[in-house]
A and B are shown apart, each in its own frame.
Chain A
Amino acid sequence: MPVIKNEYQGRKPDEFRILLGLEGYPDSRNIKTYIEKSNGYKALEKVLKGGMSSEDVINTVKASGLRGRGGAGFPTGLKWSFVPKGPGEKYLITNFDEGEPGTYKDCYISEVTPHSLVEGKIIASYAIGAKKSYIYIRGEFHNEIRWCQEAIKEAYAAGYLGENIMGSGFTHHMDVYSGAGAYICGEETGLISSLEGKKGQPKLKPPFPAIKGYLGKPTVVNNVESLAVVPWIINNGPEAYKKFGTEKSPGTKLFNVSGPIAKPGCYELPLGYPLMRFINEDCGGLIGGKKLKAIIPGGSSAPALTAKECENLTLDYEAIAGAGSMLGSGAIIVIPEDVSMVSVLENLMDFYAHESCGQCTPCREGTGWLYKISKHILKGKGTKTDMDRMYSIANNMRGKTICVLSDAAADPARAIVTKFAHEFEPYLKG
């Protein structure tokens, strides 16, 4: 069994606070608390007044091994380095379109420590040379929109945003942009289209946004969590960050736990933490002492793992990929023994059929068919052929569309249909 790295073995989740250090403070969102209790804006000062070049910032983040926390896990510093150097408009956009079922960590960051995001955004913008940045946030997040706006306002008032910040010559402006109820806007090119005032439909890559993004200009799109941890890395150095986590997945990560579990919530853990220890000890196990049937480890688009597959599994990108699923956004959904996986499939496919943007035929038709067939089976009207048909549809959706929403529906469907085939039998007519 892989072990948690070095001295962190045996400790509890609340001992790994990098990002959630302000958790529990009644006025944690206030800039004063952030400055006094969390070294707030010290990293920005170190960058702007300490003579760090944009290259130094990028190299520090690269050296930390920070991987994007939105789902794909792409190295953050590397992403920043793709932006062309030199003059010209560039943009940084925070992807706060958190809509993946099971995921609510970005909401929690804005609830506990929105200034970490604001400070991280200013530093990242300095690194790529962006004078303007946006927080693109889901329209349904009325509270979070307000908290982000308040943090930005406070940062302006304190002189951390605006013209010639801290006399450094660096100018940066920040704004919040509210989406309007489309999951697909969590895909970076869909998000950019939405910010341009269009339908949030994804675009083919390349060109990647780092070269041609918002309004055709170089643009970096980063998840909230990826940016919010940047001030800590700058303050404490990449080596300190790498002390947490595993060699290939350094640092801590926010994990959301949901479903019928005793202590659901948002936890900060070092990557590589044992999954079942987390579920059974830290989260108190399943409600009513029920047995575990399956876990969806990384948001609803991650293929479900059986209870057996979860044994000895650790929470890091490599281990979960090795088990045939993905860490994704770190949203762990717990499914107990008494829930039918046929119903789980129907619920998941309902979501993806609703949220497909309709642009690519395999996704538009495929998600719809997967939903209709799973619904048909759930009503007891399906046949064995429908099982094969679902598998075939899922195979024909995968990798054949502009963005990965199609894969996000196909992979969980394939996993459930194959791993839990026996659960479908009572529903089939023959």
Chain B
Amino acid sequence: MPIFSPELTKTIEGFLTRYETKRSSILPILHAIQDEKDWISDEDIDALEKNFGLSAVDVREVLTFYTMYRQTPPKPYRFEVCKSISCWLMGANDTIKTLRHEIEKAEKEGRPLPFEIHGVECLGQCGYAPSTLINKDRHNNVTPEKALQLLKEYSAKELPKAAVLCATNLAAKAQK
């Protein structure tokens, strides 16, 4: 099975010619890989070097510096709650605590939820605090009550494509 889909390969090739230097395309390429596969593996880095001539050292330098890139397989939904000053003043810690409690409770009851919770730095929505991202969806004024509601809504949704592909790839790898 090829490591990148034909669509992703085309996107990577597009980025390589879009910017002044090949190296400038590393950030967008890593975003694109993560969008499709949910995280960036060692195999992906090797493929970027082998198939597209990007130095694995340069790629790794970028991958490890920026917090948005995931180097391990994540849960399908990343619930990121801003914990910087404005959101903190408006109760972000309570939102985080409530979410963690709910997820732990579900885990203990044998019904694991497809979420991971992160307290993150400023999301730039300080007037609508507390602000959160669930994958790429922004939700504002997320009180503990609204957060629980969001857990319910997202639990009822179909899993994102990237999460499904991530799970499939991991299963295939485990079988080898």
Contacts and interface: CB of A to CB of B under 8 A. Distances in A.
Interface in A337-396: 339, 344, 347-348, 350-351, 354-355, 357
Contact of B122 (A142, A197, A351): A351
Given A142-B136, A175-B18, A258-B86, A181 B126 contact: no
Contact of A344 (B22, B65, B83, B85): B85
Interface stretch (A18-26, A93-101, A148-156, A233-241): A93-101
Interface stretch (B24-32, B144-152, B156-164): B24-32
A413 interface: no
Which of B22, B121, B138 counts the most A-chain CB atoms under 10 A from its CB? Answer: B121
B111 to A, nearest CB: 30
B58 interface: yes
B24 A258 contact: no
B21 interface: yes
A198 B23 contact: yes
Contacts of B83: 347, 350
A177 interface: yes
Given A180-B68, A182-B67, A196-B21, A258 B127 contact: yes
A194 B122 contact: no
Contact of A265 (B86, B127, B138): B127
A177 B84 contact: no
Contacts of A179: 27, 66
A197 B26 contact: yes
B4 interface: no
B3 interface: no
A360 B3 CA distance: 39
Size bracket, chain A contacts? 35 or more
A138 B133 CA distance: 14
A296 interface: yes
Which of B21, B27, B30 counts the most A-chain CB atoms under 10 A from its CB? Answer: B27
A140 B126 CA distance: 14
A259 B138 contact: no
B28 A178 contact: yes
Interface in A282-339: 296, 300, 331, 333-335, 339
Interface string B73-111: 000000000011110111000000000000000000000
A257 B127 contact: yes
A117 interface: no
Nearest to B89: A259
A143 interface: yes
Contacts of B61: 198-199
Contacts of B138: 142-143
Contacts of B66: 139, 179-182, 200
Interface stretch (A62-70, A74-82, A102-110, A120-128): A102-110
B9 interface: no
B69 interface: yes
A183 B65 CA distance: 11
Contacts of B19: 175, 197
B126 A178 contact: no
Contacts of A350: 83
Given A99-B121, A177-B27, A182-B66, A197 B126 contact: no
Contact of B127 (A139, A196, A256): A256
Contact of A103 (B28, B65, B124, B136): B124
A347 B126 contact: no
A141 B124 contact: yes
A180 B22 CA distance: 18
B20 interface: yes
A365 B23 CA distance: 30
A231 interface: no
A177 B89 CA distance: 32
Contact of B121 (A142, A180, A354): A354
Nearest to A89: B20
B125 to A, nearest CB: 6
B86 A197 contact: no
Contact of B124 (A140, A195, A348, A357): A140
Contacts of B20: 132, 215
B136 A195 contact: no
A339 B89 contact: yes
Interface string B41-62: 0000000000000000010011
Contacts of B85: 101-102, 296, 300, 333, 344, 347-348, 351
Contacts of A215: 20-21
A102 B126 contact: yes
B62 A100 contact: no
A228 interface: no
B77 to A, nearest CB: 15
Nearest to B125: A104
A249 B66 CA distance: 36
Contacts of A200: 65-66
B117 interface: no
A197 B28 CA distance: 9
Q: Which 9 A-B pairs have the closest CB atoms?
A: A180-B66, A181-B68, A197-B23, A258-B86, A181-B67, A258-B126, A101-B84, A264-B127, A199-B65
8 contacts: A102-B86, A141-B124, A178-B28, A180-B68, A182-B67, A200-B65, A259-B86, A264-B128
Interface of B: 18-28, 30-31, 58, 61-62, 65-69, 83-86, 88-90, 121-129, 133, 136, 138
